Structure 1
Amino acid sequence: MIFDFIGTLVSVRNYDMEASTRKLYKAIFDAGFKVDEKDFLKAYGEAHEKYRIVRYEELVEVTNAVWVSEALNSLGFNTSAEDTCLKSAINVFFADYLESLKLNPCAKELLSEASSACKTGLISNFTYAPVIYAAARRLGIGHCFNAVLVSEDVGVRKPNRKIFDEALRRLRVNAEETVYVGDSPLEDMKGAAVVGMKTIFVPSQFYSLGNLQESGQKPD
């Protein structure tokens, strides 16, 4: 069995994106990038939108440090996505988000039973892989998975079949003998079905049964 993570196994509760973005700015300012907050947020928003299109239309994953560095460079700085100061600032940005992730009811019991009966995997679309690994550990479910794939590490996003194929390769199983559990009609249901997996849809805070019906996808 392979599971999606956010929405399927965990929910996001009481998260404030604007507050996290302000903390990102402060961390960047404190790291030596002395830039006006309004100017940074404008450049950050433009860079984020540019790469959002790449991520959702081309299904290529782009990590946060790429658009943060591009925003800063557009303001006259000379930095890169590999800058350790930027990575530290991104850790600050995601700290509250990490704390906001809570296990859905029965998720831990389901994973315990599944992992004792068969190989289990996790595939998550996420721009910063350390958040997913840390969340799985903090919630006490990291040990349940034989393979964990995050789009930042793989380089592509669901529903790109490459990330599903890579999961099958790491688990050493065939698609026909694999069940995929997720909440997104497009990213999860369509993506897994194209590869040949059986699919189970889980309604979440992000996607309802109505969304599934509108998508035309038909889980097994």
Structure 2
Amino acid sequence: MIKAVLFDFDGTLLDRDASVKVFINKQYERLHKWLSHIPKETYISRFIELDSRGYVWKDKVYHQLINEFRITGITMEDLLNDYIIEFKHSCVPFEGLTNMLENLKKNHFMLGMITNGKGQFQMDNIIVLGIEHYFQTILISEWENMKKPNSLIFKKALENLNVLPSESIFVGDHPVNDVKAAQQIGMKSIWKKDDQWEDVEADYIIDELSQIPTIILK
């Protein structure tokens, strides 16, 4: 019997691809004084490419942008600080996020979150979506000194919820960091489809967050 549902954040609850596009568009406008010599679409597309869907921290991204586009008058640290401070104002949730969490809460499931990333940065993004109060435990890799797919971070979340792996299910978009990592410690898994991957061997596969309660309440 499933007692707890645990989630990844980026790409699962947060539509990170959409959020990045909103942010980098705003950043270009906000810092236009120093970026105006670069075509807007060029700056946006190169940032997205270098960002590699969040797997490259932005100090490296901005260092590369400054070198490539010969940006002057503003430093890598300035650009990075802008990202850290402003990104949360561009966060876009996936459709049906709050309704899905409300449904699970109404049915008395315990909820947890495990996300890789910078501690306060990720927490700020979670808070701006207004969802932090739904979760009994939130583990962020920087604060835990370990990250997915390390099984220890999954085990710690389950200990915090006081549930067994067999009593829990993990929802994520990454086939290794989320799906396989959860399965390896005995959890069920739900893969939230991502066009980047194919043939992911999860227990369940979904397109929309609204499908999650239906699966768990079977």
TM-score interval, normalised by the smaller of the two chains: 0.5 to 0.7
2-structure distance, mates of 1:16, 1:174: 41
1:186 maps to which residue?
176
Q: 1:168 aligns with which of 158, 169, 172?
A: 158
Deviation readout 1:60-86 (Å, 9 max, x if unpaired): xxx889x8xxx9xxxxxxxxxxxxxxx
1-structure distance, mates of 2:120, 2:190: 27
1:4 maps to which residue?
8
Unaligned runs of 5+ in 2: 35-51, 64-76, 205-218
2-structure distance, mates of 1:165, 1:195: 8
| 1:219 lines up with 2:210 in the alignment | no
1:70-219 equivalences under 5 Å are 91-116=81-106, 117-126=108-117, 128-203=118-193, 207-208=194-195, 211-213=197-199, 215=200, 217-219=201-203
1:157–1:163 contact (8 Å) kept in structure 2? yes
Unaligned runs of 5+ in 1: 27-51, 57-62, 72-86
Deviation readout 1:78-136 (Å, 9 max, x if unpaired): xxxxxxxxx9985533233222221111111111121332110011111x111221122
- Classify the secondary structure of the residue corresponding to 2:92: strand
2-structure distance, mates of 1:115, 1:160: 28
1-structure distance, mates of 2:140, 2:175: 19
2-structure distance, mates of 1:125, 1:88: 24
Give TM-score scaled by structure 2 length.
Answer: 0.63
4+ aligned runs moved over 3 Å, structure 1: 87-92
- The verdict on how the C-alpha distance between 1:89 and 1:160 changes in structure 2, with shifts beyond 3 A counting, is same
1:182–1:189 contact (8 Å) kept in structure 2? yes
CA RMSD in angstroms comes to 3.4
1:16-95 equivalences under 5 Å are 16=24, 91-95=81-85
1:185–1:212 contact (8 Å) kept in structure 2? no
Aligned residues: 162
Give TM-score scaled by structure 1 length.
Answer: 0.62
1:176–1:198 contact (8 Å) kept in structure 2? yes
Deviation readout 1:42-61 (Å, 9 max, x if unpaired): xxxxxxxxxx9xxx8xxxxx
